[in-house]
Chains A and B, each alone.
Chain A
Amino acid sequence: MKYIVFTGWFILQSITLSAIQYIGKVFEKQGERAIPLVGVNVYWAGTSIGTSTNAQGKFSIEQPNPSIDILVFSFVGYQTDSVKVSSATRLEINLKPGKELEEVNVVERIRATQISKINPILVQQIGNKELNRFACCNLSESFESNASVDVAYTDAVSGVKQIKMLGLSGTYSQMLLENMPILRGAEGAFGLEYIPGTWMQSIAVSKGAASVKNGYESITGQINIQFKEPGGLEKLHFYAYGNQDGKLEANTGFSQPIDSFWNTSLLVHVGGNFRELDMNHDGFLDKPKGQQINMLDRWEFKKNHLSWKAGVGYLYDERLGGQVNYDHQKPQSEQSAYGIDINNHRIQTFSKLGVLFDRPKTSLGIIITYSLFDRNSQYGLNQYDVKQHNGYINLIYESYLSTTAHVFSTGISGVFDANDATYNQMDIGFREWVPGVFFEYNYLPSEHLSVLAGLRYDYSSLHGGFATPRIHAKYHFPAYVTLRGSVGKGYRTANALAENSNILASSRMVFFENNNIREEAWNFGLSMVNEIPLGADDLVWALDFFRTDFKKQLLVDWDQTAREVHFYNSEKASFSNSFQTELSYTLFGRLDVTAAWRYNMVKATFQDQLRQVPFRSNHKGLFSASYRTRMEKWQFGTNLQFYGLQRIPSTEENLTENQRPAQSESYLVLMAQVTKNYRFWSFYVGTENLTNFTMHHPVIDAQNPFGDQFDASMVWGPVYGQMFYAGVKWILEKREKKQ
């Protein structure tokens, strides 16, 4: 055995020794001067083997085998270049500015999900390949194969899903659309369902403190969504989806070049739940009926060093839930059945202007967004209405100091929130204006080391001034291991009821001891990504630990009695420790396999007692596999998730039949999908919750919804059983313009 291992090691070493080393320099020509470019992505075409340039713009890369001989050089803000190498000569690459990295180049060489080796922040990129693996009706269904983000229904009656990251509520992770903050405040309750899956090109999930450029709000992480661009590859698409629960959806998108500088696109989503479904026979609709219309018109202009993107969107969302015999044409006061009526309207608009200067890595960007969100909702006798205006402006200047090893970003920002909210005629809204300044410095002395340090200072009209420091460091050991560490602070103005709307679906009395406090937390993170060559591919092993330590938090206390919920400000111990390990590998070239495990410890001090925060799984496991046939005519995907135990607030005061165990069950959820691709068409069928695990009686005291024990908000697991779905996609792509 020892002999075999030694021989294997010797052969491997011999192969390594015989490989050719290519060295070279990447620069940008400015007149007679050659400015070295730092951090340029250098990789072998068709592989994930790559490096990046150092402080002098130099790189060194080994040729894995003689058949792989095209080196690609890519850098944001520069035209991607590639050269065919034939002998070990010194390479001199002159990159030209002006064009962004073509998305198609990235798609080809990356895995379905991948972690950048260059970024000092731990960012997991979920690409189009991954998004197509399962029928992602909307953003809430895009994280099925992602171990870092959990998605769950908030209650048993409204059909609302929310995410959790690092064991904490999704409100602590900042949502961005192409680096513009979205789904803030009242929108957060439904927001994930307002991002149709078919509109998305990719999602970047970053864990821990994020860059200060996007504001002070990210505490546990950041989710940045990239929509399909008007100038992208798709010309026209039509998607339709239906499931056995009566959910039907149709999506269409059309993009059109106006001339060589202008592109425009229109994305439309219509859908709804049209079937009355009460599978658990508790008299309540398992999912509300309703409909959603969502539209976005985008414009894009690119000329030389100038780019401008703008868009305007409209959304209408209606949900009609509650007891099966509730008449939604009549007011609640005129009938004895319990009803839920939710009506939301949203208008949003954005503008992004970018100017690239002749100086390398130098640009100016101005982002302006505005959204109006209008929510009218009635849950039985509870009425919660919000009219929210949100404005945002961010001006960012980026450049370098002496060399491109010292890159900085600086700018000013302003956030305006006018949240006019009433809960049963009680005014619980707020208005806040937060101007701020920021400076971020990125030190890139070599392709291995990157340090990102940022500081911002903001002044809140509600809470006064506050500073947000954040620092990230990355070291990439040749050739397999990347280590990262981060420390950062985050703040956010809590919005008690908007973020916990599930409480409305209960008879609990709500006590606002504090409502709109500014939460404050530190986040510490350590991670290691190990890319171990194994056979034809790399085995990627990622390991991370994150701790979130709250200095000030708006606690939601379910424990005082089963009849009440208390919101109050806490400066006592509250933390989340999250440890995750993940392995992924591609077998036989086309079978992608991922296995992950995560342990969360989430505790907070409720009335002087440090306790586990309710509705948080201590363990989560994930196994996913997907396979594509040689010409990708067939695709198969399956996904198994394990959720561990959760603490459930006490219901001991209730009648025996309305009591629930103080701990949830652990459970498994399995989903699978088969897709058949044709030239322009794809057909898919799939199933969710194949294991058919559901909570027993998720609605407490469903027979007596106006009694004091009624509670539909105590949801810790699947409310719906096995479900089958089918769909069709039709995509017409643009033809490439010949050079």
Chain B
Amino acid sequence: MLSLLIVFVAINGTKVMAQEKQDEQKVTFTVNMTCNHCKLLIMKNIPYEKGVKDVSVDLDKKEVTILFKKNKITTDQLIKAFEKIGYTAVLKESKM
């Protein structure tokens, strides 16, 4: 079981390193979050939006960086997803 776990960790690590393919886009939003609860709420919702591949929250900078599949979701839809859970997200940076 442990060896299975280690293999999974290694595969998962490789997957993370191999991210940002051609059909993917990475964007950074500035979000009006104030506390750890906001971070928890964002991490419990945004990763489950269709097409979202990776989410990282920087509470100190009030920034959320999202890697997503361009043909599945748009930045506007992501902004709406933030609105649905009570936050305002402003696009800060976008990498194709």
Interface positions of A (Cβ within 8 A of B): 45-46, 67-70, 84, 102, 104-105, 107-109, 233, 587-588, 591, 623, 625, 627, 629-633, 636, 638, 640, 670, 672, 678-679, 690, 733, 735-736, 738-739
Residues from chain B with Cβ under 8 Å of A107 in the complex: 36, 40
Q: Are B1 and A70 in contact (CB under 8 A)?
A: no
Among A108, A109, A623, chain B packs the most CB atoms within 10 A around the CB of A108
B44 contacts the other chain (Cβ, under 8 Å)? Answer: yes
Complex: A587 Cα to B85 Cα, angstroms: 32
Q: A588-B13, A627-B5 in contact; A70/B43 too (CB < 8 A)?
A: no
Whether B73 sits at the interface, judged by CB under 8 Å, is no
CA gap between A587 and B12 in the complex, in Å: 14
Which residues on B are within 8 Å of A, measured CB to CB? 1-2, 5, 8-9, 12-13, 16, 34-41, 43-45, 47-48, 54-55, 59-60, 85-86
Residues of chain B within 8 A of A632, CB atoms compared: 43, 47
Supply 15 A–B pairs (Cβ within 8 Å), ascending by A: A45-B59, A67-B60, A70-B59, A102-B37, A104-B36, A109-B36, A591-B5, A625-B2, A627-B8, A631-B47, A632-B47, A638-B1, A690-B1, A733-B44, A735-B86
Contact of A627 with B9 at beta-carbon distance under 8 Å, contacts A45-B60, A672-B1, A736-B86 already known: yes
In the complex the two chains form, is A84's CB within 8 Å of B60's CB?
Answer: yes
Most buried by A among B8, B13, B37: B37
B5 near A636: Cβ-Cβ < 8 Å: yes
Do A679 and B8 touch across chains, with their CB atoms under 8 A apart?
no
List of A residues within 8 angstroms of B37 by Cβ: 102, 104-105, 233, 736
Cβ-neighbour of B12 out of A45, A105, A629, A638 (below 8 A): A629
Docked Cα-Cα span, A177 to B86, in Å, equals 35
4 A-B pairs besides A68-B60, A739-B34 with CB distance below 8 A are A45-B59, A104-B36, A630-B16, A630-B54
Complex CA–CA separation, A733 to B44 (angstroms): 10
B36 to chain A, nearest CB (A): 4
Closest B residue to A670 by beta carbon equals B1
Q: Could you say which residues of chain B place their CB within 8 Å of the CB of A738?
A: 86
Contacts of B59 in A (CB 8 A): 45-46, 70
Task: Note all chain A residues with C-beta closer than 8 A to B16.
Answer: 630
CB–CB B35/A105 < 8 A:
yes
Nearest CB in chain B to that of A637: its residue: B5
A631–B86 CB distance below 8 A: no
Distance between Cα atoms of A402 and B14 in the complex (Å): 59
Complex contacts, B48 vs chain A, CB 8 Å = 678-679
Residue of B nearest to A631 (CB): B47
- Which 10 pairs of residues, A with B, have the shortest CB-CB distance? A679-B48, A631-B47, A108-B36, A638-B1, A104-B37, A672-B1, A70-B60, A105-B36, A736-B37, A735-B86
